[in-house]
């Protein structure tokens, strides 16, 4: 009965109640959405590459090396010599390596030059291999294997020809239109930057840059038929991934690579570098969470303000309740239950809005960062947050309920006219 009265009272003030519910729902959406987005991005980052002991690039800071070599974010300030790569790849402590050559693109998607070791050894998530959805891995000079997002967004199919541009993003000013590539394979989705990558051979990267010694295309057009793939050898690469026979050798080999006299190189530990990245992002995450919590608090305050503002208007309502036998305690619980219902509806709608917002953001984050947002059921942390919001709303509603109790008690003690 009391619940029905509270619900009818809310319907009687449906306009202001709806605005209050929307305010709470939006604030809950923001708070839970940031938490879910943070968790999804972190999990997606951790799943991008698996089983790598070292990432080696030209001398530089660890985080940029990790970002451009593994996550395809940013640009390398310099390349490293092919001979340096061969020397370290032949080290007896090294189990295998994967060379990476970046710097070109196709319609906004990164082009990665590598070799067959990439298909054999590259792992993501929990030691999962790259698998073809259709076609085969490249074998010829002008053959390309594309990621699932590239195929979906550009509508590409097998045997379709594509032209690679020199440079990435807005810096891609020149196209290698004299040497088109044929799509021979399309990878299954991985939820990593691999989905947004076009893979070609290192020899192909070398072939399309013949005559580009000064950074600009040659005056004469290169005839692809006259290029012999067996004679092509990379002069430099962007970075390479290293897996060691024994992890006990990781720090020693890292120190030796960093002290390499023939060329300034940097060998980084992916796990340690990832932790540094999270430490930097952690401050930003805490600021966002604090701001979201303040927005939730503001919304709950608006709920209390609404109830307090209507107390004077509801004296007649409370007087009628008293006249039919309802005591001050009943009035107290009525106001408290109204606030609880409004808070519960707002939290529930916020949970729904959160998934709708993440669903809308999912393709944007995947297109821009190559990371996957995982739409999962709320975990323990999310449920704790929701329970805290409900608890705060219920506790804060005690004040207007107490005010209603006092007004009702005062009016009940007045002598009847």
Last residue of a domain, one of 268, 301, 329: 268
Same domain, 121 and 258: yes
290 has pLDDT over 60:
yes
What is the predicted pLDDT for the residue at 114? 95
Tell me: the pLDDT tens digits for 170-214?
555 677 777 899 999 999 988 888 999 999 999 999 888 776 555
Beta bridge partners of 268: 55
Tell me which of 176 and 417 has the higher pLDDT. 176
Window from 136-140, 225-229, 258-262, 386-390 with minimum mean pLDDT:
225-229
- The last residue of a domain, from among 243, 268, 293: 268
Distance in angstroms (rounded) separating the CA atoms of residues 68 and 293: 34
| Structural domain containing residue 197 | 54-268
pTM summary value: 0.72
Q: What local confidence, expressed as pLDDT, does residue 315 receive?
A: 63
SS (H, E, C) the chain: CHHHHHHHHHHHCHHHHHHHHHHHHHHHHHHHHHHHHHHHHHHHHHHCCCCCCEEEEECCCHHHHHHHHHCCCCCCCCCEEHHHHHHHHCCCCEEEEEEEEEEEEECCEEEEEECHHHHHHCEECCCEECCEEEECCCCCCCEEEECHHHHHHHCCCCCCEECCEECCHHHCCEECCCCCEEEEEEECCCCCHHHHEEEEEHHHHHHHCCCCCCCCCCCCCCCHHHCCHHHCCCCEECEEEEEECCHHHHHHHHHHHHCCCCCCEEEECHHHHHHHHHHHHHHHHHHHHHHHHHHHHHHHHHHHHHHHHCCCCCHHHHHHHHHCCCCHHHHHHHHHHHHHHHHHHHHHHHHHHHHHHHHHHHHHHHHHHCCCCCCCCCCHHHHHHHHHHHHHHHHHCHHHHHHHHHHHHHHHHCCCC
- Number of domains within the chain: 2
User: 221 and 288, same structural domain?
Assistant: no
On whether both 185 and 91 belong to a single domain, the answer is yes
> In this structure, are 29 and 63 located in the same domain?
no
Domain end (from 268, 285, 313)? 268
Please tell me the predicted confidence (pLDDT) of residue 342: 84
The number of residues making up the chain comes to 417
Do 339 and 406 fall within a single domain?
A: yes
Query: Is the same domain home to 62 and 9?
Result: no
User: Does 333 share its domain with 357?
Assistant: yes
Cα–Cα separations (whole angstroms), residue 164 to 173, 192, 194, 332: 11, 22, 17, 72
Q: 54 falls in which pLDDT band (50, 70, 90)? A: very high
Residue 101 shares a structural domain with residue 154? yes
Using the predicted structure, report yes or no on whether residue 42 has a pLDDT greater than 80: no
87 vs 171, residue with greater confidence: 87
Residues 40 and 88 placed together within one structural domain of the fold: no
Query: 223 and 254 in one domain?
Result: yes
Q: Are residues 263 and 127 in the same domain?
A: yes
Neighbours of 235 (CB within 10 A): 11
Residues 236, 328, single domain; the answer is no
């Amino acid at each position: 009965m009391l619940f029905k009265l509270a619900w009818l009272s809310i319907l009687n003030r449906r306009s202001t109640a709806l605005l209050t519910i929307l305010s709470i729902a939006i604030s809950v959406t923001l708070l839970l959405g940031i938490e879910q987005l943070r968790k999804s991005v972190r999990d997606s980052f951790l799943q991008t590459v698996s089983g790598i002991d070292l990432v080696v690039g030209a001398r530089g800071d660890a985080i940029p090396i990790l970002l451009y070599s593994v996550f395809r974010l940013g640009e390398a300030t310099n390349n490293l010599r092919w001979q340096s790569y061969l020397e370290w790849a032949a080290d007896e402590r090294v189990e295998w390596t994967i060379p990476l050559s970046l710097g070109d693109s196709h319609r906004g998607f990164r082009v990665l030059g590598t070799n067959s070791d990439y298909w054999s050894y590259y792992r993501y998530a929990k030691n999962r291999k790259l698998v073809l959805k259709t076609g085969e891995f490249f074998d010829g000079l002008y053959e390309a294997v594309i990621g699932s997002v590239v195929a979906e967004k550009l509508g590409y199919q097998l045997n379709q020809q594509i032209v690679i541009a020199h440079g990435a993003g807005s810096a891609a000013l020149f196209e290698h239109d004299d040497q088109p590539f044929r799509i021979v394979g399309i990878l299954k989705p991985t939820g990593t930057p691999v989905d947004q990558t076009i893979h070609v051979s290192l020899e192909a990267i070398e072939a399309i840059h013949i005559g580009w010694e000064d950074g600009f295309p040659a005056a004469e057009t290169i005839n692809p038929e006259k290029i012999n793939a067996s004679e092509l050898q990379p002069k430099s690469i962007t970075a390479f991934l290293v897996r060691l026979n024994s992890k006990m050798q990781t720090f020693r080999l890292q120190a030796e690579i960093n002290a390499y006299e023939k060329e300034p190189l940097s060998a980084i530990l992916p796990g340690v570098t990832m932790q540094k990245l999270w430490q930097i992002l952690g401050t930003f995450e805490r600021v966002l969470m604090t701001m979201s919590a303040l927005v939730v608090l503001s919304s709950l305050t608006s709920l209390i303000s609404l109830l307090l503002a209507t107390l004077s208007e509801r004296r007649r309502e409370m007087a009628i309740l008293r006249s039919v036998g309802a005591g001050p305690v009943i009035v107290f619980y009525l106001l408290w239950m109204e606030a609880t219902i409004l808070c519960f509806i707002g939290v529930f709608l916020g949970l729904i809005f959160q998934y709708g917002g993440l669903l809308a953001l999912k393709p944007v984050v995947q297109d821009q960062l190559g990371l996957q947002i995982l739409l999962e059921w709320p975990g323990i942390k999310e449920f704790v947050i929701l329970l805290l919001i409900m608890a705060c709303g219920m506790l804060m509603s005690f004040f207007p309920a107490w005010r209603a109790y006092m007004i009702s008690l005062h009016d009940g003690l007045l002598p009847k006219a």
